[in-house]
Amino acid sequence: MRETSLSLPAINDEAMIATEPEIPQAIDVLCSDSIATPGEILGDSSQFIAGKGSYLAPNGRNIHASITGHRRVLPPPADSTEKRSTVEVVGHKSRGAVPEPGVVVIARVTRVMARMVSADIMCVESKAVKEKFTGIIRQQDVRATEIDKVDMYQSFQPGDVVKAVVLSLGDARAYYLSTAKNELGVVSAQSMAGATMVPISWTEMQCPSTGQIEKRKVAKVLQTFFHFRI
Amino acid sequence: MRNDKSLLRTNEKDIKAERAPEISEMATGTSGTYSPSQCLERKQQEQKRKTFQEVDWARSDGRNFHQCRPAFLRTGAASVASGSAYAEFGSTKVIVSVFGPRESKKAMMYSDVGRLNCHVSYTTFSTPIRGQGSDNKEYSSLLHKALEGAIRLKTFPKTTVDIFALVLESGGGDLPVIISCASLAIADAGIMMYDLVSAVSLSCIGKKLVIDPTSEEEAWQDGSLMITYMPSRNEVTQFTLTGEWSTPKINEAMELCLDACSKLADILRLCLKENALELAP
């Protein structure tokens, strides 16, 4: 796991204590006893809630693990009336990424048509998929304003790398994607001359070698931490 | 005693009838490589029949009747697959690879739950006589039925999980080994399950109940029982019974099998934990 971060401010003990965020500390017991395998009982339903990677048995009494991984107990959130901690299993080898409604994906445009665009989903939330999934961006999902006046050919071109959010599972053939937010849209595109274009506004990108301006629905990429997980 | 003998004799005839076409096939040379032991075949069969008729006969590998073969299990055998496992039970060797969840084929209809696609194949060198292994056409659907009760299909809607089992050497009790190895591979792939699935088969030879039979013992069996069991939930996902059984015999056989399944599941868990520790950063 590689992490690139912005430069840290000068370390000052008092300042760090003052600005420490209030997050629930996860109690992570890393010994050989706490590796759970599918079916193992993690706890009782009177003391715990089933979190990720676990489920409640049909008799309503035990919580069993669903995958192989480390057992973790999270304390209950401070603002709710729930007194029970959450027990979850954190997979040591997480399964292949699958698009789910609400997650941000990176896709590459394959076909542009009058009312929709076909794209191959390559990454799901910074995790690359082993085999691609097919997604569709419909005309009404390209942007939030004036959705009936969208020209697909001036929003996307084949080969563009697009950041989108999964709207729903869609139909048998493809997932439904949407780029109707400022931070979604074309992230990287190649000009007709073959060079990688530079965004100049939210509708235009310019080729650095020829100076030609091409129209795209450009994503506004904010400064963030980039986590690379292979 | 007389009844027992007559019972045995009728069974011998059945077994003879089963064997006869195979020998004629070999004589005409349709199946492939020539086996040099053809002429000794009949004499060996006579000897075998006598051994199984005796009241107390010893198993060829020195186990007692209620003892299973030692198991060797490993996960992560095939790196290209999402999850994989290799199992060796005596001389039965099986490798299972799991791909998925991945996109279903375009031709398939939309489904709210995930789909499971199982395929069992035998290598050409897996049986003593080179060529297709017997009964492997229905093994794929039997594997599917055994596993679909244990996998949480709702956690991967619209996608498919492909399970491919390859039998490298068929030494008897193939299907239970395939099922146990497949559940290990699925757990290795990180696909959500209700519980690990372990399977054990049992043969009835004469009056004896023989657990985890080898291919030689399977060939002389009068009936067989296979149970696929989820121990933590105390649920049976598949129950296969062939031959003639009386009710008390079935009860006794079931108890033996369920006990063996629980112990096998413990071994499967141990294998998963060991491999998890190896991978831990």
> For residue range B68-79, what is the model confidence (pLDDT) as tens digits?
999 999 999 888
Average pLDDT over residues A100-111: 94
Structure token digits, residue B224: 């067989």
pLDDT in tens, A171-222: 888 999 999 999 999 999 999 999 999 999 989 999 999 999 999 999 988 6
For residues B140, B146, B147, B151, the Cα torsion angle rounded to the nearest 10 degrees is 150
Q: Per-residue confidence at B191, pLDDT binned at 50, 70, 90?
A: very high
Under the banding of pLDDT at 50, 70 and 90, the label for residue B56 is low
Note the pLDDT of residue A126: 79
Mark yes or no for CB contact A37/B196 under 8 Å: yes
Q: Which of A2, A42, A90, A95 to substitute to test the interface with B, most B CBs within 10 Å?
A: A95
The token duo for B193 is 């399950």
For residue B148 the two structure tokens come to 């679909």
Rounded Cα–Cα distance for residues A68 and B275 (Å): 10
Answer whether B279 sits within 8 Å of A93, measured CB to CB: yes
Q: Which of A68, A72, A129, A175 has the most B C-beta neighbours within 10 Å, making it the best mutation to test the interface with B?
A: A68
Chain A touched by B32 (CB under 8 Å) = no
pTM of the predicted structure, to 2 decimals? 0.79
Name beta bridge partners: B161. B116
B120/A228 Cα distance (integer angstroms)? 37
Task: Identify the band that residue A140 occupies on the pLDDT scale cut at 50, 70 and 90.
Answer: very high
Residue B152, pLDDT score: 92
pLDDT, average across residues B198-217: 90
What percent of chain B is predicted at pLDDT more than 70? 80
- The pLDDT of residue B211 is 92
Please list every residue in chain B whose beta carbon sits closer than 8 Å to the beta carbon of residue A229.
none
Q: Between A and B, how many CB-CB pairs are < 8 A?
A: 97
Mean pLDDT of chain B: 82
Residue B202: strand pairing partners: B211, B225
B142 and B175 in contact (C-beta within 8 Å)?
A: yes
The whole-number average pLDDT for the span A54-67 is 90
**Which among A94, A98, A132 has CB closest to B156?**
A98
Contact B270, B73 (CB under 8 A): no
Element (H, E) at B99: strand B92-103
pLDDT category at A74 given cuts 50, 70, 90 is confident
A93 → closest Cβ in B100, B155, B190: B190
pLDDT band at B135 (very low <50, low <70, confident <90, very high): low
Chain A residue set in contact with B, beta carbons under 8 Å = 30, 32, 35, 37-41, 53, 55, 57, 64, 66-69, 91-96, 98, 130-134, 169, 171-173
> Mean pLDDT over residues A33-37, rounded?
80
**Angle formed at CA A210 by CA A207 and CA A211, multiple of 5 degrees:** 60
Predicted confidence (pLDDT) at residue B33 exceeds the cutoff of 80: no
In which band, very low, low, confident or very high, does the pLDDT at B110 lie, cut at 50, 70 and 90?
Answer: confident
Say yes or no to pLDDT of A123 above 50: yes
Mean pLDDT across chain A? 82
A interface mutation test: which of B75, B79, B84, B102 has the most A CBs within 10 A?
B102
CB contact under 8 A, A35 and B82: no
pLDDT, mean of residues B194-208: 92
Whole-complex ipTM? 0.76
Q: A132-141, B42-51, B166-175, B210-219 — which is least confidently predicted?
A: B42-51
Flag whether residue B274 sits within 8 Å of chain A, measured between CB atoms.
no
Comparing CA positions, the residue from B170, B117, B179 lying closest to residue B143 is B179
**Given B189, B269, B279, which is nearest A37 (Cβ)?**
B269
% of chain A with per-residue pLDDT over 70? 80
* Spatial distance between the Cα atoms of A216 and A214, rounded to a whole number of angstroms: 7
Specify the pLDDT at position B39: 52
Q: Mean per-residue pLDDT for B241-248?
A: 92
Pairwise CA distance, residues A175 & A193, whole Å: 32
Q: Is the pLDDT of residue B2 over 50?
A: no
Cβ-contact B169, B188 below 8 angstroms = no
